[in-house]
Amino acid sequence: MEVKSIWDERLKEFYMEIVKYFSLIAMGVFYSFIIFGSISLYYYMKFLQWLPPHFPTEMIASFVITFTFLKANVRTFVKKADVIYLMPAETALSSYFKKSMFYSAFINVIKLIIMLLIISPLIKQGEIFNAVSIITFSGLIILNIRLTWIEQWLITKLQKLFHKVIRFSTFYTIIYFMFTGEWAISVILLFVNFLLWFYVFTTQYKGINWSFLINQEEKSLLKIYKFINFYIDVPHLKHSFKRRKLLGWLLKKVITYKLSSSYTYLFSHLFIRYNEFYYLYVRLTLIGIGVSYFFPAYGWFVAFPLLLLSGYQLLPLQYSINDSSRIYPVSTKTRKQSFQKLLMSLLIIQLLFFNLASFSPIFDLKVVVLISMELLVAYWFVYFFASKRIFVQ
């Protein structure tokens, strides 16, 4: 295979695999988009109506677009084997990495347009899709690719933190002045940053940090596979774990030390360390807290589906426990009860946060009824619906 054709072949290979998966989950993604898109649009309109007339909405819009830029990365499609087979030909791969940057810039353009359409109601200065804004955003995309690319040469944590702070400050300032109508300041700041990052800091060639690029590519693929895994099983999905010492310490204090609690202890530690389930639960909880806080009158409307969704998404956790743990002298019934206990505890904690976020000093009968109904829904889900789907053996 010629060096010039490697990038095209890998791009084709990537999209063939993605198309294969999305052909299976197309209808599920479509219906999810319709349901959650409609709910999000409804609350977004409520949020726009709630904002005071003189609130600096440009600050919110600038933060959202800046965050969009910061989440961007350069897709290189490199693989672990490239360290052996492509590293010797690194000097001949300039066209390969240029194509990666052009491709990443194109993807960033699509994401940026979508986000601009979403946040456009927050911009009070009128039209944001004009000639000057298009040129400025084009420059920001190029600058962002450049700043993302040089991350591979940062070594210490302090350098990486400093780099992130510079990126955030730069993009937020430029975008904020754009949204407030100060186009001249935005263009000047963009021009100065171009001079700094494209000329001052490019005095000599630096080699490719292959381990960094491979790690970034694996993270990008992992995000895609995690999304697909919501709908169908992805066999080669790599799972990630993280030890959370504080939560682990709290579990040791809360869970009693006895034989019947052994699986409660194991399932609880598995949950707090398993990033996929832990972050899923945290995201859904934060969504519920946000809606309950900003729209307390409609918090209950979101609490019920979020409870069911959280519980349903946590059910596969039962199959993730290590097989060697099954040698413990604990009955299947006790294991099942332990998983139900964890599930019920997580849903109650979630309900607690939802209701605290929408807390009202007026504690009337309606509040008592809503909390009682939420607890009944959680109990029904764990001990009736989920009970038939828990097969811990």
Domain assignment present for 85: yes
CA-nearest of 103, 86, 101, 69 to 208 is 86
pLDDT at 319: 81
Residue 163 has pLDDT above 70, yes or no: yes
CB contact set of 337 (below 8 Å; sequence gap of 6+):
none
Residue 139 has pLDDT above 70, yes or no: yes
Domain assignment present for 237: no
Same domain, 217 and 258: no
Same domain, 216 and 255: no
Same domain, 18 and 144: yes
Tokens of 143: 């600058």
The pLDDT tens digits of the residues spanning 317-359 come to 888 777 677 777 778 888 888 899 999 999 999 988 888 887 6
Q: Could you tell me the CA-to-CA distances from 134 to 8, 68, 167 in Å, in that order?
A: 29, 16, 20
pLDDT at 345: 93
Same domain, 52 and 187: yes
Residue range 236-249: mean pLDDT, rounded = 79
Domain assignment present for 240: no
Same domain, 206 and 294: no
- Indicate the residue among 171, 197, 228 that finishes a domain: 228
Same domain, 311 and 349: yes
Same domain, 156 and 276: no
Mean model confidence pLDDT for the chain: 83
pLDDT at 362: 56
Residue range 31-46: mean pLDDT, rounded = 77
Residue 296 has pLDDT above 80, yes or no: no
Same domain, 293 and 173: no
CB contact set of 101 (below 8 Å; sequence gap of 6+):
74, 145, 149
Instruction: Name the more confident of 218 and 290.
Output: 218
pLDDT at 101: 92
pTM of this prediction?
A: 0.69
Same domain, 115 and 219: yes
Alpha-helical segments (H) within 131-156: 131-149
Q: Could you tell me the CA-to-CA distances from 365 to 215, 348, 362 in Å, in that order?
A: 54, 20, 10
Domain assignment present for 235: no
- Indicate the residue among 228, 253, 284 that finishes a domain: 228
Same domain, 220 and 297: no
- Position 297: which residue type? A
Least confident of 106-115, 128-137, 200-209: 200-209
Domain assignment present for 234: no
Residue 1 has pLDDT above 60, yes or no: no
Instruction: Name the more confident of 352 and 298.
Output: 352
Domain assignment present for 308: yes
Q: 205: pLDDT confidence band, cut at 50, 70 and 90?
A: low
Domain assignment present for 215: yes
Helix (H, G, I), strand (E, B) or coil at 76: coil
Same domain, 50 and 175: yes
Opening angle at CA 153, ends 193 and 15, nearest 5:
90
Q: Domain range holding 223?
A: 3-228
pLDDT at 18: 86
Question: Looking at the 3D structure of the chain, how many domains does it have?
Answer: 2
Contact 228, 234 (CB under 8 A): yes
Same domain, 219 and 252: no
The pLDDT tens digits of the residues spanning 46-73 come to 888 888 878 888 888 899 999 999 988 8
DSSP assignment of 207-235: ---HHHHHHHHHHHHHHHHHHHHTTS--T
Domain assignment present for 326: yes
- Indicate the residue among 199, 228, 257 that finishes a domain: 228
pLDDT at 238: 65
